[in-house]
Amino acid sequence: MNSDHAQAEAPMPRKHFNTFALIGLSFAILNSWTAASASINLALGAGGPVGVVYGLLVGTVFATTIAVSLAELCHVFPSIGGQYHWAYAMAPKQYRAPIAYLAGWVGTTGWIALASSAPLYAGSTTMGIISIYKPDFIPDPWKLFCVYMGLTIYCGIINIWGVCILNKMNQAALLWSIVGAVTVFIVCLTVPSTQGHRSSASFIFTDFVNLTGWPDGIAWMLGLITAQYSLVGSDGASHIIDEIDRPHINAPKAMVLACLIGGTSAFLVLIAVLAGISDTESVISAGAAGIVEALYQATLNRAATLCLTLIMFGTILFAGPALMITSSRMVQAYAADGCLPFHKKLAYVSPKYQVPVYAVLFCCFWYVVFGVILFGSVIAVSSIVSASVVMLQLSYVVPIAGMLFGGRKRIFKRTNADGDKADEDDDEIPIPSDIKYTLGPVVGPIINTIALCYIVLTTVLFLFPSYIPVTSGTYMNYSVVVVSSTVMLAIVNWFAFARRGYTGPKDFKQILERAHVNRAE
């Protein structure tokens, strides 16, 4: 296979997902109410119930501005590379190659880190359940690692040999998650009420807890990590446009709907969970298994806690393969342009399985690397969560900023040119004439600006130590190490390998034209 045309010549995947399954996939990727519940300990320590409730409300609003900004780009440029290709399309012509390369590297790494958090929380949840039944149980890192590896192998098997069931699986994921959210909501509200230990409304909506050492305002903003972790990744649907019908319509729709449904379900579930909490500090000290402790406080029954936790575990079983789908497709698109070692293999789509098998195995390898980190420090869980959010948000900056600073005018000038000849810069980026989804010349820049400001603010905050003073490595936020190492590796790879032949996404026009084939209603 010619490396210059790795993506173009590879067999195209079948259409694995209908519209309902795509929405289910997007919702499973965000897995918002489970992700927010699993990371509730992070927000409780940095704002208490106030940090959880209002942080999630604020986070949903701002995450939606990011989602609609990316959805607009996806409508114009439906491409498997997502923000990697959008960065190339929106960047100034003379800087397109290095900017797209860095956006692709950070975005790909961010997706792999985010995807690895699913088995991380599956392991933590399992340890929490065992601890409920056996109070003297010690959740050693190797035990957590065993569960982690089991989920990793499961995700790899589904993504290679189980692709034929993904359509049905993602439809089931949406139904399971919604029914599960309703079940947890009802149980956590009604059981404490009937047993007479439900928390008061003032506790849920006004109680502020700050154990971080930071000033209250900064502490509350640090607690936004729970909201952002549960809502980041709205670009997920864009990375499987080759496997869906009418991608320019269905992918943007799924991106926005998943964010709105996810934010709403997470808000309602966490309100109910807070209603059952009687000891905030116990939930915080339980770490990544804090949600298990919260559910036990709500039900005061081990069997009920087990059932509710198994519902959450089920959503993780759906989310794990969905996250690996997206991360592997991101690897495939990035490798197809020669940006990674062994790029021919990583970009190759197996004719037998109709999936990029080596890209899936590449993701599994990095899952193992992240899993090994668990042996070094339990705090690695929160650090990987923070790092995944930061890196994905950074990958969104260039395409959204490009749309804000000139890209919108260029796109819609060409669209409304009535046959006028486009300039040379525009000729390199094929833009369709049937653009139906647009935020408009007034609302669009406002939403893009809000999204960018929120990304910059939270990206800086999420690199701060969670607690001060930092008296030991336990309180260190290692996400800054993960992010800086990622950028350094990108720079080393650029000078040692990629810059010799990389000029931007190869066959970019053909990629977009392939997606534009079925744009007609």
Domains of the chain: 3-516 (1.20.1740.10)
Strands (E), 338-458: none
**Which pair of structure tokens corresponds to residue 204?**
């849920």
What 3-state DSSP class applies to 210?
Answer: strand
Residue the block writes with tokens 């259409």:
15
Residue 434 has pLDDT above 60, yes or no: yes
Report the distance separating Cα 131 and Cα 128, nearest Å.
Answer: 5
Structure tokens at 283: 């939930």
CB 512 within 8 A of CB 81: no
pLDDT reported for residue 59: 94
pLDDT at 419 over 90: no
342 and 359 Cβ atoms separated by less than 8 Å: no
- Rounded distance, CA 502 to CA 487, Å? 18
Q: What contacts 145, CB < 8 A, 6 or more positions away?
A: 123, 371, 372, 374, 375
Q: Cα–Cα distance between 345 and 368 in angstroms, integer? A: 20
The whole-angstrom separation of Cα 433 and Cα 243 is 23
In degrees and rounded to multiples of 5, residue 350 shows phi and psi of -65, 125
| pLDDT score of 5 | 44
Of the pLDDT bands very low, low, confident and very high (cuts 50, 70, 90), residue 418 is very low
Which residues have CB under 8 Å from 350's CB, separation 6+?
11, 356, 357
Question: Global pTM?
Answer: 0.87
Q: Indicate if the alpha-carbon torsion angle 51, 478, 398, 248 is positive or negative.
A: negative
The answer to whether the CB of 283 falls within 8 A of the CB of 290 is yes
Read off the pLDDT band of 24 (50, 70, 90): confident
Number of H helices, E strands in the chain: 24, 0
6 has pLDDT over 60: no
Residue 456's pLDDT is: 94
Name the more confident of 454 and 10: 454
User: Cβ-count burial of 3 within 10 angstroms (0-12 exposed, 13-18 middle, 19+ buried)?
Assistant: middle
State residue 469's pLDDT score.
83
Higher pLDDT: 288 or 57? It is 57
Residue 72's nearest CA partner among 391, 431, 429, 330 is 431
Average pLDDT over residues 285-314: 91
**pLDDT of 475:** 64
Contact 212, 19 (CB under 8 A): no
The fraction of the chain above a pLDDT of 90, given in percent, is 42
Q: What percent of the chain has pLDDT over 70?
A: 88
Per-chain mean pLDDT for the chain: 85
Kindly list the distances between the CA atom of residue 178 and the CA atoms of 60, 171, 223, 261, 476, in Å, as whole numbers in the listed order.
Answer: 17, 11, 25, 9, 36
CA gap 74, 89 in Å, rounded: 11
Q: Report the alpha-carbon distance of residue 258 to residue 24 in Å, rounded.
A: 8
Q: Smallest Cα–Cα separation from 392: which of 518, 229, 272?
A: 229
Q: How confident is the model at residue 27 (pLDDT cuts 50, 70, 90)?
A: confident
pLDDT tens digits, 385-399: 888 999 999 999 999
Q: Which two tokens stand for residue 356?
A: 């990029």
Instruction: Give ∠ CA 454-460-465 in degrees, rounded to 5.
Output: 130
State pLDDT tens for residues 61-119: 999 999 999 999 998 888 888 898 899 988 888 888 889 999 999 999 999 999 998 99
